[in-house]
Amino acid sequence: MSNEARYIFGPVPSRRLGRSLGVDIVPFKVCSLDCLYCQLGSSGPKITERAEYAPIEEVLAELRKTLDAGVLADYITISGSGEPTLHSRLGELIDRIKKITSTPVALITNATLLDAEDVRRDAAKADLVVPSLDAGDEETFGRINRPHPSLTIEKLIAGLVKFREQYSGQLWLEVFVLHGINTSAEQIAKIRRAIDLIKPDKIQLNTSVRPPASSDAKRAADDELCEIAQMLGPRCDIIAGFSAKGTDEQGSATAQRILSILRRRPCSLEDIHTGLDISPNQAIKAISQLHQQGSVETVRIDGKVFYKAC
């Protein structure tokens, strides 16, 4: 796939989804939340209005071109640089993706809009939905996910429960834990109570392994993750700490371009993806690869995350 792709990225290796071909349908950090652990950095205003943030004809044309070039994937994954359910034509997009490929469609969502019927109807068209739930009470929701003022954890959980009742596809709930914020037995018990209502097919436990938006986002240690996984029950897998193998050649080329820039000066994620005209996701994957190789490090300047060559 060419570097000029605006909406399609990858395929990237994913422990959960195998080879995942990403479809990015909202602009950088158009999101209803501003999570402490967000790899896209901290955001400006939070958004809950749905709109056609990316023209779906262009998204579909790019996807068709990628698939025609022989790119193979285990999932077409709608995710990206913000919250994809904010796209007002999400349901139509999924219907039309299914007309051009038999590859299953996955949707990764922060679940905040699932209390709205139109969003549930759109999301239900995906073969696999991976929503997030990081808190069982309002205070922790506020601390970790820093939501738009109209959102509450009660509404988020109610939306997930309603969605599960209507949706017969696979529902894999991601729980992201940050040491010292939502890792206590009391916090995990609250999340477990919500999970018992939601009844996901799987629970996937994650923690902060890449440079997060905030230094308060502390990674949970491996033994802490194991204890939490036990508390969340037998359907829970730990997905944190997976290091991607077999990153494709194009990803390596992108990583080398990024490294040559970082050798000259430290850059933020935004500097990198706008400077190279690639999607934030492509930039994140390449930076992550460089981190694993020990070629770049993260520094904070005036509280903002920058990357520099080691």
Footprint of ligand SF4 (CB under 6 A):
31, 33-35, 38, 40, 82-83, 110
- Number of Cβ within 10 Å of residue 102's Cβ equals 5
Identify which of residues 30 and 259 has a Cβ nearer to ligand SF4 in the complex: 30
Q: At its nearest, how many Å lie between ligand SF4 and the CB of residue 146? A: 8
Helix (H) or strand (E) holding 64: helix 56-68
User: What is the distance, to the nearest Å, from the Cα of residue 215 to the centroid of all Cα atoms in its chain?
Assistant: 19
Q: At its nearest, how many Å lie between ligand SF4 and the CB of residue 38? A: 3
Find residue 176's DSSP bridge partners.
Answer: 206
Q: Distance (Å, rounded) from C-alpha 286 to C-alpha 294?
A: 12
CB distance 214 to 202 below 8 Å: no
- Residue 298 has φ and ψ, to the nearest 5°, of -100, 135
Alpha-carbon distance values, 176 to 60, 111, 173, 218 (Å): 31, 13, 10, 11
Q: At its nearest, how many Å lie between ligand SF4 and the CB of residue 190? A: 20
Q: Distance (Å, rounded) from C-alpha 83 to C-alpha 273?
A: 18
Burial call 151-186: b when 16+ CB within 10 Å, e when fewer: bebebbbbbbebbbeebebebbbbbbbbbebbbeee
Identify which of residues 132 and 187 has a Cβ nearer to ligand SF4 in the complex: 132
Identify which of residues 33 and 67 has a Cβ nearer to ligand SF4 in the complex: 33
Tokens of 110: 């922060």
Q: At its nearest, how many Å lie between ligand SF4 and the CB of residue 252? A: 25
If you search the block for the tokens 């779906």, which residue do you land on? 56
User: What is the distance, to the nearest Å, from the Cα of residue 252 to the centroid of all Cα atoms in its chain?
Assistant: 21
Identify which of residues 128 and 259 has a Cβ nearer to ligand SF4 in the complex: 128
Tokens of 64: 């068709």
Q: At its nearest, how many Å lie between ligand SF4 and the CB of residue 242? A: 17
Q: At its nearest, how many Å lie between ligand SF4 and the CB of residue 35? A: 3
Q: Distance (Å, rounded) from C-alpha 235 to C-alpha 309?
A: 40
Identify which of residues 33 and 173 has a Cβ nearer to ligand SF4 in the complex: 33
Identify which of residues 12 and 40 has a Cβ nearer to ligand SF4 in the complex: 40
Identify which of residues 105 and 144 has a Cβ nearer to ligand SF4 in the complex: 144
Q: At its nearest, how many Å lie between ligand SF4 and the CB of residue 103? A: 23
Q: At its nearest, how many Å lie between ligand SF4 and the CB of residue 237? A: 20
Identify which of residues 101 and 268 has a Cβ nearer to ligand SF4 in the complex: 268
Q: Distance (Å, rounded) from C-alpha 155 to C-alpha 150?
A: 10
Q: Distance (Å, rounded) from C-alpha 140 to C-alpha 118?
A: 28
